[in-house]
Amino acid sequence: MTFGRARIEARFAKLRAEGRSAFVTYVMSGDPDLQTSAKILAGLPGAGADIIELGMAFTDPMADGPSIQAAGLRALKAGITLRKTLELAAEFRRQDTETPIILMGYYNPIHSFGVDAFLKAAAEAGIDGLIMVDLPPEEDEELCLPTLAAGLGFIRLATPTTDDGRLPAVLANTSGFVYYVSYAGITGAGSADADTVGAAVARIRGQTDLPIVVGFGIRTPEQAREIAAVADGAVVGTAFTDAVRDSLDGAGKATDTTVAAVLDLTRELAAGVAAASRKAVGGAQP
Amino acid sequence: MSKLNSYRTGPDGAGRFGIHGGRFAAETLMPLILDLERAYRTAQADPSFQQELDYYLEHYAGRPSPLYFAQRLTEHFGGAKIYFKRDELNHTGSHKINNCLGQILLAKRMGKTRIIAETGAGQHGVASATVAALFDLPCTVYMGEVDVERQQPNVFRMKLLGAEVIPVSSGSRTLKDALNEAMRDWVTNVHDTFYIIGTVAGPHPYPELVRDFQSVIGNEARAQLMAAEGRLPDTLVACIGGGSNAMGLFHPFLDDDGINIIGVEAAGDGIETGRHAASITGGRPGVLHGNRTYLLQDDDGQITEAHSISAGLDYPGIGPEHAWLHDMGRVSYVSATDAEALEAFQLCSKLEGIIPALEPAHALAHVAKIAPGLPKDHLIVMNMCGRGDKDIFTVAEMLGVEI
């Protein structure tokens, strides 16, 4: 059975065969509560998500804007922990064995859990990869190398400040795909410019065969279409945490519309990605 | 624990002090962090950098700060001989200016045109705003809403100096959250912005360079005590939030056998209440704000809120070199409560005519515990790292006085 890095690779192989880019949804684990979060997760693939990034709540998310900060705090208030996030993933995995789940967040909760114990539990839960905002290549021995040894993907962030001299170091131990951050800044604060992003993707493409997925600054179907045309995938995050927030009642609790709000948005954005005419197709051929 | 030949050689090439330190930073910042390290190495090798820094330390900040024999407190406690390193007499009222002068000279060398800083008590914010005014660079200071409220005089000082003060409303609305917000600004404006970190924390090389800029405190104290007493101290005491004043005092003495070195954390309402800011006494290793160190955190690795009467100590972490010195057993880390600090604050004001900041009042609270039991020829040097003008409103409130 495929898991981990292999599941991510299988997903990109399927997308290539279909001639389209990946639509990657970032949702905060446990937001606004565990039960609603489980329903959102279960519905995402049917609504068009090709890959799920599952945000790990952290009290001090230094690279996130107000919307994702608030989503993390809602989840923490509702009782999310790293262990419960793994349980949510395991529950999802019982229904869906093909959609990759990537945990995205900050290192400390994993550090606290213990790296070896975490990697074992994550693999068992059906987690396929990690994106760690505060683990640059300089700290690869902390988590990146053990993650690769465990068969999971470690997806590195490349940014507009990652110049050609540094890019090889960033790509060296990256697996699954490369996550290109479209602008220098925090989540939800800027807008991805398709021309600039296209040039950056081309630059990275010159140094890796991995798929290149772009995130930060994509929130509308039109933006998703433009970015999907120049990259192997488009990530949307803040628009989802906004959708959750806007669906809550006065006390900040989930309502009947919460799950639908997220899944409707997923369908709209997935249609945007599907409408992209691919200008570039990356990734090693199977 | 085996004894090292030297405790002064850290960090290693990866920015580590034992398991602590490192570069746990977002990729967007990494190229700049590496640039900063290169710029610092170049500056270290260039005598004109130190000359320029020395010039400003002497003529602008007013260094050297005196080493003062606190005779009345010594008599009051009836034991060890107590000296204060008077860093509260520096321009801007604390030790923070030492580091800010060093960092702004680096910022100029790197061609950066905008300064950002975080602040807790406001002392680092004021020092940053001061050097930014002096070198004609725009400056933005992030400060938790709680701290803005309790440190109004410093907020106004920063504004007078031309800085923009941005109150931070996220999280516990104190120093930790101000740091988060400063990091967010930095990641957004990394092309032109220099982040003056105020303490011996953050991604490498910050803990090292802030320590180096603050070591002027210990280097002076060493020479001054030699002149006054003809020998080195027996005990050093300093308060610790992030730990820059303490690191500055301690570092030049780390390899001197027999000197008892004590860092005093803020115990808030008491360690046992859980409402404190003592990361070594009450925390465990974790990763936050670019480094691994002792952190206050829950079982899930979520950072918990620190509590202290002193805004400058109200931080759930500690500089990584302190964390390592604790692991090695070279420095003892103890704590003092809000109530003990408040008592020391009043005692020092009445007996010495020195109103200390609430931060060094914690150090003095520990001196009050140990001095009476020590012999009269025992020499204690305590870092009086800040003055208390900024704290009078907090203290008045605690004492139930309306001003």
DSSP-assigned states of every residue in B306-343: P--S-TTT--S---HHHHHHHHHTSSEEEEEEHHHHHH
**Interface with B, mutate which of A62, A87, A183, A204 (most B CBs under 10 A):** A62
Task: Say what the pLDDT of residue A280 is.
Answer: 46
Task: Say what the pLDDT of residue A1 is.
Answer: 60
B-chain residues near A170 (CB < 8 A)? 27
Task: Please indicate whether, in this complex, the C-beta atoms of B23 and A139 are within 8 angstroms of each other.
Answer: yes
Q: Which amino acid appears at position B98 of this protein?
A: N
A-chain residues near B187 (CB < 8 A)? 62-63, 184-186
**Closest alpha carbon to B307 in B327, B279, B333, B286:** B279
A-chain residues near B285 (CB < 8 A)? 111
Q: Give the largest Cα separation in chain A, rounded.
A: 51
Distances (CA, A) of B144 to A154, B152, B165, B293: 35, 12, 10, 22
Task: Say what the pLDDT of residue B391 is.
Answer: 92
Q: Are B151 and B123 in contact (CB under 8 A)?
A: no
Domains delineated in chain A: 5-274 (3.20.20.70)
**Closest alpha carbon to B370 in B108, B12, B165, B81:** B81
Residue of chain A nearest B181, judged by CA positions: A62
| Burial of B305 per CB tally in 10 Å (0-12, 13-18, 19+) | middle
Structure tokens at A196: 């600039």
- Convert the pLDDT of each residue in B30-54 to its tens digit: 999 999 999 999 999 999 999 999 9
Cα separation, B23 vs B340, in Å, equals 36
- Convert the pLDDT of each residue in A115-153 to its tens digit: 999 999 999 999 999 999 999 999 999 999 999 999 999
Domains delineated in chain B: 16-57+96-210 (3.40.50.1100), 65-93+215-398 (3.40.50.1100)
Residue A281 has pLDDT above 90, yes or no: no
% of chain B beyond a pLDDT of 70? 100
- What distance, in Å, lies between the first and last C-alpha atoms of chain A? 18
Of residues B23, B183, B303, nearest to A136 (C-beta): B23
Residue A251 has pLDDT above 90, yes or no: yes
DSSP-assigned states of every residue in A230-262: HSSEEEE-HHHHHHHHHH--TTS---TTHHHHH
| Sequence-separated (6 or more) residues with CB below 8 Å from residue B9 | none
Q: Residue A19: which region, alpha, beta or left (left: phi > 0; alpha: psi -120 to 50)?
A: left
Task: Say what the pLDDT of residue B250 is.
Answer: 98
Residue A188 has pLDDT above 80, yes or no: yes
Q: How many CB pairs under 8 A join A and B?
A: 117
Name which of A73-77, A238-242, B174-178 the model is least confident about: B174-178
Cα separation, B93 vs A152, in Å, equals 53
**Closest alpha carbon to A147 in A172, A122, A124, A170:** A122
Distance from the Cα of B187 to chain A's closest Cα (Å) equals: 5
**Interface with B, mutate which of A29, A59, A156 (most B CBs under 10 A):** A59
B-chain residues near A106 (CB < 8 A)? 287
Which residues share a beta bridge with B239? B264
Residue A284 has pLDDT above 90, yes or no: no
Alpha carbons within 13 angstroms on the beta-carbon side of residue B175 total 29
**Closest alpha carbon to B179 in A112, A59, A132:** A59
Cα separation, B31 vs A165, in Å, equals 10
Q: Are B296 and B335 in contact (CB under 8 A)?
A: no
Mean of pLDDT values over A215-241: 97
Residue of chain A nearest B295, judged by CA positions: A108
- Convert the pLDDT of each residue in B71-91 to its tens digit: 999 999 999 999 999 999 999
**Closest alpha carbon to A110 in A98, A119, A102:** A119
Residue of chain A nearest B15, judged by CA positions: A138
ipTM: 0.95
Active site residues of A: 53, 64
Task: Say what the pLDDT of residue A286 is.
Answer: 35
**Interface with A, mutate which of B295, B302, B303, B304 (most A CBs under 10 A):** B302
* Cβ within 8 Å of A, B 79-108: none
B-chain residues near A82 (CB < 8 A)? 300-301
Task: Please indicate whether, in this complex, the C-beta atoms of B23 and A133 are within 8 angstroms of each other.
Answer: no
Name the average pLDDT for chain A.
Answer: 95
Of residues A58, A60, A138, nearest to B176 (C-beta): A60
The full length of chain B comes to: 403
- Convert the pLDDT of each residue in B196-241 to its tens digit: 999 999 999 999 999 999 999 999 999 999 999 999 999 999 999 9
Distance from the Cα of A267 to chain B's closest Cα (Å) equals: 31
Residue A283 has pLDDT above 80, yes or no: no
Residue of chain A nearest B190, judged by CA positions: A184
CB of A181 within 8 Å of a chain B CB? The answer is yes
pLDDT confidence tier of residue B311, bands split at 50, 70 and 90: confident
Of residues B176, B177, B288, nearest to A108 (C-beta): B288
Beta strands in A19-120 (DSSP E): 22-28, 51-55, 101-105
* Cβ within 8 Å of A, B 346-385: none
A-chain residues near B170 (CB < 8 A)? 66, 69
CB of B109 within 8 Å of a chain A CB? The answer is no
Cα angle, residue A73 at apex, residues A178 and B169 outer, rounded to 5° = 105
Helices (H), B60-122: 71-77, 96-109
Name which of A242-256, A264-278, B67-81 the model is least confident about: A264-278
Distance from the Cα of B269 to chain A's closest Cα (Å) equals: 23
B-chain residues near A138 (CB < 8 A)? 14, 22-23, 30
Task: Say what the pLDDT of residue A279 is.
Answer: 53
**Interface with A, mutate which of B19, B28, B37, B295 (most A CBs under 10 A):** B28
CB of B188 within 8 Å of a chain A CB? The answer is yes
Cα separation, A85 vs A75, in Å, equals 10
Task: Please indicate whether, in this complex, the C-beta atoms of A81 and B289 are within 8 angstroms of each other.
Answer: no
Of residues B184, B292, B300, nearest to A81 (C-beta): B300
- Convert the pLDDT of each residue in B341-375 to its tens digit: 999 999 999 999 999 999 999 999 999 999 999 99
* Cβ within 8 Å of A, B 149-178: 170-171, 176-177
| Sequence-separated (6 or more) residues with CB below 8 Å from residue A86 | A121, A122, A124, A125, A127
Residue of chain A nearest B21, judged by CA positions: A139
pLDDT confidence tier of residue A278, bands split at 50, 70 and 90: low
CB of A134 within 8 Å of a chain B CB? The answer is yes
- Convert the pLDDT of each residue in B86-126 to its tens digit: 999 999 999 999 999 999 999 999 999 999 999 988 999 99
CB of A135 within 8 Å of a chain B CB? The answer is yes
What are the backbone dihedrals phi and psi of residue A180, each rounded to the nearest 5 degrees, phi first?
-90, 125
A-chain residues near B323 (CB < 8 A)? none
Q: Which amino acid appears at position A177 of this protein?
A: F
